[in-house]
Amino acid sequence: MELWQEMLRASVDSGKDLVERFNFDKDLAEKLNTLFHIRINPYYLSLIRYPGDPIWLQCIPDAQELVPDDFPLDPLNEEADSPVPSITHRYPDRVLFLTTSQCSMYCRFCTRKRKVGDSGKISMKFIQTGLDYIAAHTEIRDVILSGGDPLMLTDVMLEKIVSGLRAIPHVEIIRLGTKMPCVLPQRITLKLCKMLKKYHPIYVNTHFNHPWECTTEAKQACEMLADAGIPVGNQAVLMKGVNDDPDVMLELMRKLLFMRVRPYYLYQADITKGANHFRTPVSVGLNIMDKLRGHTSGLAIPAYVIDAPGGGGKIPILPQYVLGRNGNNIILRNYKYDIYQYPDVGEEEKKPEAQLERRYMRKRTKPVRKKVYESQPTRAEVSSK
């Protein structure tokens, strides 16, 4: 048994553990564990400095999770874009491939808590079905392995999946969505990196949310991946009390670059049932982005996105830099709020319908969802109408 597996065995993973270690009320602990399973491995637990700190908030259950809300269990409507079990095919050329239901640490803000931790919903028995679907759809050139966390699989099992994907001619890029470099960096071993190196191009997207997670162990794990030729990107989630401060976010982004991790996305927190207490106003995220741009390297600036409720996909949002026009000049402001004018190139006269099509870059192929929370029809229901 490897070290990371031994550490998993020593995890806090029950309501009883919450009572004994953190003095939780017994009934509350059991309700929280039933709502969404608890698992905190010893490494990540060791990062907590005091109750209620940014690490604590991410991993220790909270009574606020039980507060009733009107938010959906599947806020991104992934099920409607799931043609076969464990595949989400939302974008034209790429798919999400769920490979395991297990994680080394269950984040309390998880957007997929309806499935994560439940082996009946994300199962190894669906792996071949997923591979067959990808092989049959030649438009798919990019596959993201997720779950759960794909690095919860053994090296042998993970290699079977990765080699199966690499055997499909039209699959160009394989990505691993894993939180292991952050929450259990001991999982990143030379053996794992040597195996993955055989199947390039391989990319890793990981998930650091606070500077305290950027430890010596985490740095070593990320550098091992980078040394194996695997680019590592980070997808942070903006959360109240964790990282909703420009100085904290700036420190995180700089530390990530020092660890050879490229900031990729900053997510506005999803409208996930039981996680509303993590959400911040969008204005908080825009203010953070405003304090990053120009104040640090462009390498350290992620794309701030909202994953649109109802399955609309990732929509980037930015502070307002274009202030208006003065004739042919565009009025701009920079990070210091100094004002500049840029002489624009005149545009050719176009018909109104051509202007509309150009504005949206393509003709709309399906109607806009009118309500973000209503249940969406399945593909079978759509085709039968």
Report, as residue numbers or ranges, the catalytic residues: 90-91, 94, 103, 107, 110, 112, 270, 307, 314
**What does the block give as tokens for 219?**
């740095």
Three-state DSSP class for 340?
strand
Nearest CA to 297 out of 323, 263, 320 is that of: 263
Single out the residue of 27, 115, 37, 113 nearest to residue 63, CA to CA: 27
254-255-256-260 Cα dihedral, nearest 10 degrees: 100
> What is the distance between the alpha carbons of residues 55 and 243, in angstroms, rounded to a whole number?
10
- Tokens found for residue 60: 């220790």
| Nearest of 156, 146, 211, 142 to residue 180 by alpha carbon | 146
Do you know the residue count of the chain? 385
Pick from 313, 304, 317: nearest CA to 366: 313
Strands (DSSP E) contained in the chain are: 87-91, 94-100, 142-147, 173-177, 202-206, 232-238, 261-268, 303-308, 313-316, 322-326, 329-333, 339-343
Q: Distance (Å, rounded) from C-alpha 250 to C-alpha 167? A: 41
DSSP, collapsed to helix, strand or coil, labels residue 189 as coil
Written as six digits, the tokens of 92 are: 């034209």
Closest Cα to residue 106, out of 65, 76, 53, 75? 65
